[in-house]
Amino acid sequence: MGVSVLIGILITFLVVILVLYLVQRLPLDARARQIAQIIVIIIGIISLLKYLAVF
Give the pLDDT score at 51.
Answer: 80
* pTM over the 0.85 mark: no
Q: What is the CA radius of gyration of the chain?
A: 13
Rounded Cα gap, residues 47 and 9, in angstroms:
9
Whether residue 44 contacts residue 16, with contact meaning beta carbons closer than 8 Å, is answered with yes
- Helix segments in 1-55, DSSP class H: 2-25, 30-51
Q: Tell me: the pLDDT tens digits for 17-47?
A: 999 999 999 998 999 999 999 999 999 999 9
